[in-house]
């Protein structure tokens, strides 16, 4: 039986022969250590060009075994499907590369087992840091990293065993709620409580936003009904289902809402358009998240943009200079529209 022959894989010795130099010189160039070996830039460029032409790829794991530091940094994120996490990933990659680091990013879909699987895989590549973004169980990731002697920190959601950088969720939610309540009062001519919808009641960010939401109502002497705090999850369909159930149970839905993310806002806007509950007057909305296209959906919306550049600057300040294990840095969010 005839079999197609697989093309011969280019080796480091093949490149050395083509470049007219030693295998050790080729290795130094491909591993980024050629300046320490005092190899000339012309030879380094020649070796790099030949490697590209020959389709040579460095065996990363074998290479890492020969290095003191990998210069690889890993990030775990829960989602790619909203502007906030997309901005985190892009900013993280840019800032890592500015420091000569190679970023690895993977999405774990808010699944704690996938978070651990991702961390283990990153550790196998000898990452220098693991950044757990929005992790459901950040302390478990920290313990795994610590057992391998790898440093870690938390972003977006805090942990108790590694430094954490998050938004100031309480203050941001309180101010957002205050602004929406004032808009709501101007629109209706009287004070009226808002509905809180979206997020998981068990996570730190949502619980702090609920506290800020309640604090703003208390400061304005407005009573909130506990059954109008719907921490139903982030998925659009969950917000849709929660509003449908509330409308069926009570016959109406509050005219003002605090929506806990743009992901939840998708479900809210879909339900509003489909339900017919706001056919005569549009609801007054506030969203603890930001997307420039949302402003096109309606005029009566206030939005909060989490300050991703400032958050990532704090992350890399910790990476560059260190921080206490239990340190918690809270970054004020930015209000996109005026009160």
Cross-strand partners of 75: 105, 131
Is 170 in contact with 177 (CB distance < 8 Å)? no
Rounded to 5 degrees, what are φ and ψ at 94?
-60, -45
pLDDT at site 2: 47
Q: Is 87 exposed, middle or buried (0-12, 13-18, 19+ CB in 10 A)?
A: middle
What pTM did the predictor assign? 0.80
Tokens of 198: 């979206």
pLDDT at site 62: 56
Q: How many whole angstroms separate alpha carbon 78 and alpha carbon 314? A: 20
Mean pLDDT comparison of 71-85, 146-160, 164-178, highest-scoring range: 164-178
Model confidence pLDDT, tens digit, residues 102-136: 999 999 999 999 999 999 999 988 899 999 999 99
Model confidence pLDDT, tens digit, residues 75-86: 999 999 889 999
Output the CATH code of domain 12-58: 1.10.260
Rounded (10°) CA dihedral 27, 32, 149, 124: -60
Residues of each domain in the chain carrying CATH 3.40.50.2300: 72-162, 169-305
pLDDT at site 252: 92
Model confidence pLDDT, tens digit, residues 13-51: 888 999 999 888 888 888 777 777 789 889 988 988 888
Residue 337 has pLDDT above 90, yes or no: no
Model confidence pLDDT, tens digit, residues 260-314: 999 999 999 999 999 988 888 889 999 999 988 876 766 679 999 999 999 999 9
pLDDT at site 338: 44
Is 337 in contact with 298 (CB distance < 8 Å)? no
What residues have CB less than 8 Å from 10, skipping those under 6 apart? Answer: 54, 55, 56
Banded pLDDT at 222 (limits 50, 70, 90): very high
Average pLDDT on 87-100 reads: 97
Model confidence pLDDT, tens digit, residues 233-256: 999 999 999 999 999 999 999 999
Range with the lowest mean pLDDT among 9-23, 81-95, 209-223?
Answer: 9-23
Is 245 in contact with 275 (CB distance < 8 Å)? no
Residues of each domain in the chain carrying CATH 1.10.260: 12-58
Is 135 in contact with 115 (CB distance < 8 Å)? yes
- In the CATH hierarchy, which fold is given to the domain comprising 169-305? Rossmann fold (3.40.50)
pLDDT at site 67: 55
The CATH number fitting domain 72-162, selected from 3.40.50.2300, 3.20.20.140, 2.60.40.3080, 3.20.20.150: 3.40.50.2300
């Amino acid at each position: 039986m005839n079999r197609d022959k697989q093309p011969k894989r280019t080796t480091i010795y093949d490149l050395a022969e083509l470049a007219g130099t030693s295998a050790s010189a080729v290795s130094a160039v491909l591993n980024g250590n050629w300046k320490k070996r005092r190899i000339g830039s012309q030879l380094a460029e020649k070796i790099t060009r030949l490697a590209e032409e020959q389709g040579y790829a460095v065996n990363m794991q074998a290479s890492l075994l020969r290095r003191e530091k990998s210069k690889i940094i890993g990030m775990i994120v829960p989602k790619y499907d909203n502007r906030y996490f997309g901005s985190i990933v892009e900013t993280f990659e840019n800032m890592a590369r500015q420091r000569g680091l190679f970023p690895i990013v993977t999405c774990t879909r808010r699944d704690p087992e996938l978070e651990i699987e991702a961390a283990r895989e990153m550790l196998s590549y000898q990452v220098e840091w693991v950044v757990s973004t929005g992790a459901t169980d950040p302390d478990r990731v920290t313990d795994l990293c610590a057992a391998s002697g790898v440093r870690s920190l938390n972003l977006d959601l805090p942990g108790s065993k590694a430094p954490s950088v998050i938004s100031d969720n309480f203050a941001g939610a309180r101010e957002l709620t205050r602004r929406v309540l004032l808009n709501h009062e101007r629109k209706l001519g009287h004070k009226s409580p808002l509905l809180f919808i979206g997020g998981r009641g068990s996570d730190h960010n949502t619980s702090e936003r609920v506290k800020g939401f309640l604090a703003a109502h208390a400061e304005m002497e407005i009573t909130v009904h506990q059954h109008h705090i719907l921490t139903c999850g982030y998925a659009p369909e969950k917000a849709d289902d929660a509003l449908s159930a509330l409308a069926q149970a009570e016959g109406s839905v509050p005219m003002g809402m605090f929506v806990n993310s743009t992901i939840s806002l998708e479900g809210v806007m879909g339900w509003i358009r489909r339900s017919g509950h706001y056919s005569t007057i549009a609801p007054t909305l506030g969203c603890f998240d930001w997307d420039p296209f949302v402003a096109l959906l309606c005029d009566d919306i206030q939005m909060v943009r989490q300050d991703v550049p400032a958050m990532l600057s704090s992350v890399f300040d910790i990476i560059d200079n260190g921080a206490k294990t239990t340190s918690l840095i809270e970054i004020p969010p930015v209000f996109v529209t005026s009160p």
